[in-house]
Structure 1
Amino acid sequence: MIDPAASPQSARQRRLLLLATGTMSGVGLVGTLLPFIASMAPSDAARSRGAPVEVDLDSVEPGSLVTVAWRGKPVWILHRTGDMLERLGRHDSLLGDPLSKKDQQPANARNATRSLRPDIFVAIGICTHLGCVPTYRPEAGAADLGDDWPGGFFCPCHGSKFDLAGRVFRNVPAPLNLEIPPHAYQGETHLVIGQDRNGNQ
């Protein structure tokens, strides 16, 4: 007696049935995974918080400090005067890392002004010790900070000091210079924070 399951037509039907079942299982798996994968992508709100921030430098007067938010952090924009720039070269012996060689800084921070333009200083305004926000103390020789104080930023939480280029002083709790975020200029008065000259974020 001939087994009907052994016929070539039955074998073909079994293969088609297996192929159809496998295809439907694959479609079901993809349909199940797509919402899960989509839920892992950042939301529109999260993307906007990480987006570059544009600043009109016409609003930043010489000697003044403006703070903007980028990625939930305060970013300082300091328009340094000629006097402030002149003071930067006079106290390197007091600093822990005057040329930003030992920390996470971009190449444009490895100089005395730690900036793309000498007159404009851009830094994340968070102390590198425990994350407090230092205060802007531009006056040289402030009585409470010492005769050798050249002006800069003082962290009231634990006493860390940074000069007007965000360089950390020796013998303070903060181990590193202030962080420089990626930034670039689009013309003389237009600053973009969160994106460097090559468009990298």
Structure 2
Amino acid sequence: MADTVVGANPDPHASGEDPNRRDFIHIAAGAAAVGAVAGLAWPFIDQMNPSGDTLALASIEVDLNKVSPGQQITLKWRGKPLFVRNRTAAEIEAAVRDDNAALRDPQRDEDRHKPGKAEWMILVGTCTHLGCVPTFGGGDYNGWFCPCHGSHYDTSGRIRKGPAPTNLEVPEYAFLSDTTVKVG
């Protein structure tokens, strides 16, 4: 005669517990928890996206008729100053002559403007050292000069002297016509 324990249930499913059902409940509860966490986290993640007014400034069109040779206009683009300079022949010659100079961030002048448009220098107007706004016509190279920390840029916006590590940034831009450029 087999030993049986009094009160033991020989059928494990007799109490109504189905292992497949229990696994399903655990998986469903886990999926619901993941969905709830994602639903709560999304507003926090979404608020980090750029605001509508910033996205509206993602690109701008500039009328170049406003800029005479030797002049520069400064616009606000993506929350930063944007320099649009109409360079003189002397400024272009000085920049090309310095292509072979010892540059901290080597770049030829022709790589910093569109082909056939050497007179137009379009730069993001923030110093690459600490983000100050340089002024034109100062410094040792007759280009941009950052008075805050003494960074000197040439007429092509290349760093020549001072603490700035890189050249002034050239943004993406395209000429829509001879008198209009789209930046961004």
1:39 lines up with 2:36 in the alignment: no
Report if aligned partners of 1:97, 1:176 keep a CA contact under 8 Å in 2: no
1:165, CA displacement in angstroms?
Answer: 0.5
- Structure with a larger share of its residues in strand: 2
Report if aligned partners of 1:163, 1:169 keep a CA contact under 8 Å in 2: yes
Q: Which runs of 5+ in 2 are unaligned?
A: 1-6
The partner residue of 1:71 within 60, 74, 78 is 78
The partner residue of 1:162 within 138, 144, 153 is 153
Flag the 1:137–1:176 CA change in 2: closer, same or farther, 3 A. Answer: same
With normalisation by structure 1, the TM-score equals 0.66
The superposition leaves residues 132-170 of structure 1 with CA deviations (integer Å, 9 ceiling, x where unpaired) of 2211118xxxxxx5xxx5531122223332111112224
Equivalent pairs, count: 173
1:55 lines up with 2:61 in the alignment: yes
Deviating above 6 A after TM superposition, structure 1's stretches of 4 or more consecutive aligned residues are: none
Flag the 1:5–1:88 CA change in 2: closer, same or farther, 3 A. Answer: same
Q: What CA distance in whole angstroms lies between the structure 1 residues aligned with 2:22 and 2:59?
A: 57
Map of 1:153 onto structure 2: 144
Report if aligned partners of 1:66, 1:76 keep a CA contact under 8 Å in 2: yes
Report if aligned partners of 2:141, 2:152 keep a CA contact under 8 Å in 1: no
Flag the 1:43–1:167 CA change in 2: closer, same or farther, 3 A. Answer: closer
Q: What CA distance in whole angstroms lies between the structure 2 residues aligned with 1:60 and 1:136?
A: 15
With normalisation by structure 2, the TM-score equals 0.71
- Cα-Cα RMSD: 3.4
Report if aligned partners of 1:5, 1:11 keep a CA contact under 8 Å in 2: no
Q: Which runs of 5+ in 1 are unaligned?
A: 102-109, 139-144, 195-201
Larger Cα Rg: Structure 1 or Structure 2? 2
The partner residue of 2:172 within 179, 182, 188 is 182
1:86, CA displacement in angstroms?
Answer: 2.8
1:193, CA displacement in angstroms?
Answer: 2.8
Flag the 1:38–1:90 CA change in 2: closer, same or farther, 3 A. Answer: same
Q: What CA distance in whole angstroms lies between the structure 1 residues aligned with 2:67 and 2:153?
A: 21
Flag the 1:30–1:72 CA change in 2: closer, same or farther, 3 A. Answer: same
